[in-house]
Amino acid sequence: MSEHDNLPERSSGSSPVDLSKGHVEGTGGLPARFENPGLPAHVHRHGDDDDAAARRSERQVAGLFVLSMLATVGFAVAYFAIDKNSTVTLPLVGVTNALHVALGVTLGLSLLGIGLGAVHWAKTLMSDEEIVEERHVLRSDDGARQGAIDVLTEGGESAQIRRRPLIVYTLGGALGLFAVPLGLQLVGSLGPLPKNDLSTTLWSTRIGQRDGKGGRKRKLMRDPEGTAIRLTDVTLGSVFHVLPEGINETEHPLNEKVKASVILVRLEESKIRSQRQRDWGIDGVVAYSKICTHVGCPVGLYEQQTHHLLCPCHQSTFDMTDDCKVIFGPAKRPLPQLKISVDTEGYLVADQGFAEPVGPSFWERG
């Protein structure tokens, strides 16, 4: 006698398939219909007929929502009050960032309070009767619509929304305040506003100036050597990659370099076509931004015979004898020129910053 012989018959009239007997014809032993398991029986709760127990549950639910509100306020306080570099030692974890711990714990408690409050409310006060809604055509008839309204109203009544204003207010407060950490993180993590950082370079400031006044003009320095360049160093055919004097002493030298890089060449003065270009240089020595006006690659290829500057990224080509106008490629505007002169010791210096923003043409620059 096999163990399958002992299996009980299903109430539907079907029996389990005995695979030890080989292939099975027909339905494969599946019942034609599955029994409806029905709804679990209602479990009597104290609050169902004891008003004092119901009020106790109400206070417990409200307490959980209040806990959520306090945790949310704690999140906001921790966000501003705790130094982002401070640490704390936790058992099993070791030394870790105190701000992250505080934000995680308070945010977790905030969510937990709302979740536990909602579950406790549902389990102790809301009706646990299941309501079945039959399928119907998409647009319900008026009777069904009224029925839906009645069901919703009944649901509201059974949730005791009107009778428990304390829960409604505290839930509203908990959910409303919960939006605060999300907004705080979004706004607080965006970083500082760029102000006019994208449209100015270090060339527009002077060495040793205070409150925008005084100081002396910045020298043109070789990149990467960091040595000053005399006018006499720039012979015909030579090319210098240039950065402003003092760039390594700035707060963000790399940010400054990507905006202030300049290329310096000497042209035969007779070949310079624009009078302004001639005036902004000296003895045929001219300086132009090295940042491509297409999408910002360094324009580092200089063709000595044609005096063309080539950007290696998308082949934009600029004519140095014609004020660095674009003669080929996707760039839409010339490279900005840096106005230079010579100081009393013979070094090249910048008279002022670029007259227009350097780098990619976008929005109003185009």
Q: How far apart are CA 255 and CA 349, in angstroms?
A: 21
Measured from the CB atom, the residue of 64 and 311 that comes closer to ligand FES is: 311
Least separation in angstroms between CB 314 and ligand FES: 3
Least separation in angstroms between CB 259 and ligand FES: 15
Measured from the CB atom, the residue of 246 and 298 that comes closer to ligand FES is: 298
* Interface size with ligand FES, residues (CB under 6 A): 12
Measured from the CB atom, the residue of 120 and 332 that comes closer to ligand FES is: 332
Q: How far apart are CA 267 and CA 278, in angstroms?
A: 10
Residue 332 corresponds to which tokens in the numbers above?
Answer: 């839409």
Q: Give the chain's end-to-end CA distance (angstroms, integer).
A: 90
Q: In the range 327-346, which residues lie near ligand FES by CB under 6 A?
A: 329-331
Least separation in angstroms between CB 276 and ligand FES: 24
Measured from the CB atom, the residue of 62 and 291 that comes closer to ligand FES is: 291
Binding to ligand FES by CB under 6 A, coded x per residue (else -) over 17-56, reads ----------------------------------------
Piece of the chain touching ligand FES by CB under 6 A; list 55-63, 68-76, 263-271, 288-296: 288-296
Q: In the range 164-183, which residues lie near ligand FES by CB under 6 A?
A: none
Q: Is 4 left (phi over 0), alpha (psi -120 to 50) or beta?
A: alpha
Least separation in angstroms between CB 317 and ligand FES: 9
Measured from the CB atom, the residue of 62 and 331 that comes closer to ligand FES is: 331
159 is a contact residue toward ligand FES (CB under 6 A): no
Residue 185 corresponds to which tokens in the numbers above?
Answer: 């993180």
Least separation in angstroms between CB 295 and ligand FES: 4
The helix or strand, by DSSP H or E, that contains position 287, with its residue range, turns out to be strand 285-289
Question: Among 123, 124, 81, 125, which Cα is nearest to 103's?
Answer: 81
Binding to ligand FES by CB under 6 A, coded x per residue (else -) over 233-252, reads --------------------
CB of 287 within 8 A of CB of 355?
Answer: no
DSSP one-letter code for 136: -
Residue 113 sits at the vertex; the CA angle it makes with 102 and 128, to the nearest 5 degrees, is: 160
Least separation in angstroms between CB 310 and ligand FES: 9
CB of 348 within 8 A of CB of 224?
Answer: no
Least separation in angstroms between CB 234 and ligand FES: 25
Q: In the range 289-328, which residues lie near ligand FES by CB under 6 A?
A: 292, 294-297, 311, 313-314, 316
Q: How far is CA 345 from CA 68, 228, 231, 286, 341, in A?
A: 70, 11, 10, 19, 11
Least separation in angstroms between CB 200 and ligand FES: 21
Q: Coil, strand or helix: which one is 83?
A: coil
Q: How far apart are CA 287 and CA 339, in angstroms?
A: 7
Q: How many helices (H) and strands (E) does the chain have?
A: 7, 13
Task: List residues near ligand FES by CB under 6 A.
Answer: 292, 294-297, 311, 313-314, 316, 329-331
